[in-house]
Amino acid sequence: MTQRTLARAQWLEHDKTLRQELYKQFIEEASKCYIDALQHSQADMPNLVGLYAKISRMRVLSSPDVIASAERIGRKLLDTYLEPNKSFLGLREMVNSGSID
């Protein structure tokens, strides 16, 4: 019984580590995509595909709330590509005002 409990605890820790790494990668990639979307009207398709691949992996590992949040971020990125581009000064103003989502 003790060995079984230990094995389960190790599996849970491994699962948690996988999710943390996936979330880290998602945040980094989403951040890059968002800055790209603010500056360009043409979508960076390889990065968006990578981002949506991570959302698909989240569907296997994560709770519905986490998945919904990731999907909201994906939609925000797509919408941002359709908005007018921001200049470097415009980006600076967004950061200084705290209006970067």
Which residues span the domain enclosing 81? 2-97
Instruction: Give DSSP secondary structure letters for 68-89.
Output: HHHHHHHHHHHHHHHSPP--HH
Separation between Cα atoms, residue 51 and residue 23, nearest integer Å: 11
pLDDT value at residue 77: 93
pLDDT value at residue 4: 87
Per-residue pLDDT tens over the stretch 18-51: 999 999 999 999 999 999 999 998 988 999 999 9
Per-residue pLDDT tens over the stretch 14-23: 999 999 999 9
Domain count, the chain: 1
Q: Are 51 and 26 in contact (CB under 8 A)?
A: yes
Query: Once rounded to an integer, what is the mean pLDDT over residues 60-69?
Result: 95
- Closest C-alpha to 70, from 16, 36, 35, 19: 19
pTM above 0.85, yes or no: no
**pLDDT(63) > 70:** yes
* Token couple for 71: 């999907």
**pLDDT(101) > 70:** no
Q: CA distances (Å), 58 to each of 19, 32, 34, 73, in order?
A: 8, 19, 19, 13
What does the DSSP 8-state code read for residue 41? S
